Structure formats: C-alpha cells, structure tokens
Amino acid sequence: MSKLRASVPPQWLQKTVLKAFFQPQLQELKLSFDHSGWTLSVLCDFLLRDWLWREEVFPESSKVLEIRKAPPITLLKTYGFSSIGKVLDDDSPYFHRRRFLLRHPESTARTLELTVFTSSTEATETLSDEEFLEKAIFLRIRFHFNRGQNAMYWRTLRTTPITEKPRVKKPPVPEPQGTQLQEERTEVSQYSSVLAYSVVLSILVFLLICGYFIKTSIVDSIQPGLKLDLHAIDCYDTKAVCREGDVLTDVEPWIMSARCCKEESKWTPKECRREYGDLIFGVIPCSEGYVWNQKWHNAWKIWCCPLKD
C-alpha cells in the first residue's frame, strides 16, 4: 500500500499505536501492514504531525519504529525531508541503505532520521531517491532526542534535496504523408470499422442481458432469493476499516479487502462447506439443504451453510 490518498484510521487505533510506541520501557516497535485496512502513509502522516506540532506527546528519549515498505516520495517532500545519501559503512551484506533527515523546526534536540533498506542484489547507485523508495523492503524511523554535541551533529549534518525519477516525455508522432484521396479513404475505412464494432458490441450486450434474465428466472424458480445483494443483509466490502458499529466477518487476503456486516454470521466455518458458484450472472445456488452465507468472502467457491430454523 503505497498511495498517499488512503483511509484514515479510527481515532482509537491511532491512540493505541501511539500509547504502545511511547511506553517508557519500549525502544523499538515493528509493524506489518499485510492485512490492515489503512496504509503506511497514513501512519507516518499522523506520527509526523504529532512529532512536529504536538511536541509534548513525544517523550524526551530516542525511539525506533520499523515498518515494511516505505512511504511515497510525496509524503517526504510534503514534510520537508532532505537526503543524507547512501550509507557507506553498512555492516549488512543483504541490504543497500539510504537515509533521509527531518529537523524539528523548534526543538534543536529533536531530529527524525528515516533509513530505507533495499535488497543488495540490485544495483542502486544510479537510482534516484524516488526509485530507491519504490524498491524499499522495509523502513526504519528514528525519533532522535539529543543534547549538546550530539544535537549539534544532527543540526550541522550536510544534506541534499530529495531526487525524483526523470519523467520522459513521449515525442509527438509525425502525421503520415499522403494525398487527400488516401486520407479520405482512411477516414471512411476507420468509420466503417467503428460502426461494425459498435453493431457487434450492441448485439453482444443485448444477448448478455437476455441471458441474464432468462437464467435468473430459471434459477430463482428452483432456489429463489440467492442473488448477490450485500445491501439486503446489511453487509459491504471495503479496503478500509469497518464503519463504527459494524463487525468484520471475513478478510480476502489476495485482494486486501474486508467484508463488514451489521451482525456476526450465525454459522462457524466448521459447519459449512465451499461450493462452486456462478460469478457471471450473479446467481449463487447451493446444494439442497444448504443456503449461501454472504457474510463470508466468496471467490471461485462460495460458502454454503446448513439451513437453520
């Protein structure tokens, strides 16, 4: 998850992360976002905002936060990070590292150091900072708190602006040379092709609609009430967290989405079995004596559960 535009985590979740991170006995916290409903960018965003403008919530001690991947370059440029460059004294043969720095605008004791790690199997010398961030394996954020000479070291450390990858502009395609007659023939040929394509597409859409109503009528007459309608059972799919008051009933790991409902399912997975459904027309039949459980995710197979009174 790397886009800056993301779902904002609920206030209680932000407070929980901050409360855990700011425990006096805690020096390092590692987080994974494999199945979360909010992104790395959102976490970094609200931590940076608190660090910059709510200085009192950060303890006067150094903290380390380690997260998989790295935020996009837009977030670093928004907050004014600068680049320290690659780390020459890296003691790890498995990673290349680059560091980025953000000095606190008011507190000389506070400095934020962001170290990005990529695989050592790839050549990174010619990569821009933006390309390096895109290849990141994990990220380490150090919230430094120093006084005296240590604080002056971070304040006087030489940095450079963050570099972006080059944007290549495609050259305009030259217009083909030809006579006016050839151009007219080409226009007529293109118009005929578009017209034929439109006719074929209209016929296919018409046949698809007819097939939908025919098949739906047949299946509904055999086993009615099984159309794919999440709103009818107060459920919905989302890539963010559930709305307040709703419960998470299932997670589809490969597409990173969650199914949220007003109530929990009345079955357990051990009571149910998976059967093949019809994904083309949205009609999902189950075997006799079983009913489709829409509160759980349905991929190529659907969850069919025994009928209950």
Q: Are 110 and 58 in contact (CB under 8 A)?
A: yes
Instruction: Give a yes or no: residue 145 inside a domain.
Output: yes
What digits encode the pLDDT tens for the residues 107-154? 888 888 888 888 887 778 788 888 888 888 888 888 888 888 888 888
Which residues make Cβ contacts (< 8 Å) with residue 130, sequence separation at least 6? 73, 162, 163, 164, 165
What digits encode the pLDDT tens for the residues 264-282? 888 888 889 888 766 555 5
Q: Which of 142, 161, 180 is the last residue of a domain?
A: 161
Alpha-carbon torsion angle 285, 287, 288, 292, nearest 10? -50
CA distance 292 to 225: 10
Instruction: Give a yes or no: residue 166 inside a domain.
Output: no
Residue 51's domain spans which residues?
11-161
- The 3-state DSSP class for residue 195 equals helix
Tell me, yes or no, whether 23 and 131 share the same domain. yes
Beta strands in the chain (DSSP E): 28-31, 63-68, 82-86, 95-103, 110-119, 138-145, 235-238, 247-252, 257-261, 273-276, 290-292, 301-306
Cβ atoms < 10 Å from Cβ of 112 = 20
Range of 7-21, 50-64, 114-128, 167-181 with top mean pLDDT = 114-128
* Domains: count for the chain: 2
